Structure 1
């Protein structure tokens, strides 16, 4: 593992134009391109292919094409993961997604950060922050999740939201910037009155 890759995974500034990083990026993009060429009916081939792309993938993933990511190996999804068309994950840092997560169309998860100084941007300086999504989360269409965000378990994120800060467990959150509008009160299913 080269030094720039280690810096990237640790959230430190790194050189995004490093030849080894670019080589890994293009290798992953070729694998994603191949995945997106598979027919929707080729379920076994699609599952095999997505499991090769992602760093970890639980049982019964369903990732509709087109799907886009940078490296893939930094993405970890749990069991029964579903994403609709045009999921984009810029996974310069680790992206962890729990079990039974549903993601609507045109959702973007961005871990990568760029300097505001144009000279630093021009030379390829970047850094990245983790994204974590808990179990039983539903993310509506056209949601953008920014670097460093954690979305708790059992949350719903309304369509079109831009998630800039952490969302606690059992929340319904919407807007730009996304904010909690309701907390869920979960009923005990075994309650016998």
Structure 2
């Protein structure tokens, strides 16, 4: 019953946001490549839909306008996804007021509130006169957040993150992160290895927390 109700609500939400989707598709097919003016207008509007209805409407809009977006994800209030080439896999969770550039978000990843995922590191270049060039879509790089990654609130990410990592709140990630580790700080530095609890061990065992160790200075 629950799945049937959710299916109906998702379908109704897609009908409601259809005018926005049509605008973005017309822009995509009729205007020059990588034009996203109308797309960004619509993303700013749907970001402000409040409450549970807003979650359904944002998800509905992005499932119909992004390259790929699962109906089984959560996109929080105030969150803006700035490029339609973004990919969101099932059970991804994005908190409130996040800014997502050109990214691929893996299954079961948790993106905290106010996290910024940039479209790479070199979005502007110095020209021959020493002036910074304006934004160019040719400089976009897809940042991949692998499966089961937890990114803490306020972190800034411009590089790939491996599977099952934890990124501390407020961290700045500018170089790729290997799987199964925790990093924190600015710039982000190794804190400890992460490993799932051993099912054969009791819940009260201190060893069930993993075999990681903190880095000491």
Q: TM-score range by the shorter chain?
A: 0.7 to 0.9
Unaligned residue ranges in structure 2 (runs of 5+): 1-30, 203-217
Instruction: State the Cα distance separating 1:157 from its structure 2 match.
Output: 0.1
TM-score of the superposed pair, with normalisation by structure 2:
0.68
* RCO comparison, higher one (Cα < 8 Å, 6+): 1
* Residue 195 (structure 2) pairs with residue 185 (structure 1): yes
1:161 counterpart = 2:167? no
How far apart are 1:44 and its partner, in Å?
3.4
Q: Contact 2:99–2:117 at 8 Å: present in 1 too? A: yes
Give the TM-score normalised by the residue count of structure 1: 0.76
**Aligned 8 A contact 1:167 1:180 in 2:** no
Equivalents in 2 of 1:54, 1:60: separation in Å?
A: 14
1:27 counterpart SS class: helix
Deviation at 1:180, TM superposition (A): 1.5
The alignment status of 1:96 with 2:108, answered yes or no, reads: no
Shift of 1:96: 1.1
Could you say which structure has the higher helix fraction? Answer: 2
Say if 1:47 and 1:126 are closer, same or farther in 2 by CA, change over 3 A: closer
Query: In the alignment, is the contact (CA less than 8 A) between 1:35 and 1:50 conserved in 2?
Result: no
The 5-angstrom pairing of residues 109-148 of structure 1 reads: 109-111=117-119, 113-117=123-127, 118-119=130-131, 121=133, 127-146=139-158
Paired residues, number: 167
> 1:51 maps to which residue?
63
Closer/same/farther in 2, CA of residues 125 and 98 from structure 1, 3 Å limit: closer
Question: 2:180 aligns to what?
Answer: 170
Bigger mean CA offset, 167-176 vs 105-114 = 105-114
Shift in CA distance, 27/154, structure 1 to aligned 2, threshold 3 Å: same
Q: Does 1:77 align with 2:88?
A: yes
Write 1 or 2 for the structure with the bigger share of strand: 1
Of 50, 71, 75, the match for 1:63? 75
Q: CA deviation at 1:33?
A: 2.4
Structure 2 CA distance for partners of 1:180 and 1:126, relative to 1, 3 Å: same
Please give the root-mean-square deviation of Cα atoms over the aligned residues, in Å: 2.4
1:37 paired residue number: 48
Q: Give yes or no for contact 1:114–1:125 (8 Å, CA) kept in 2.
A: no
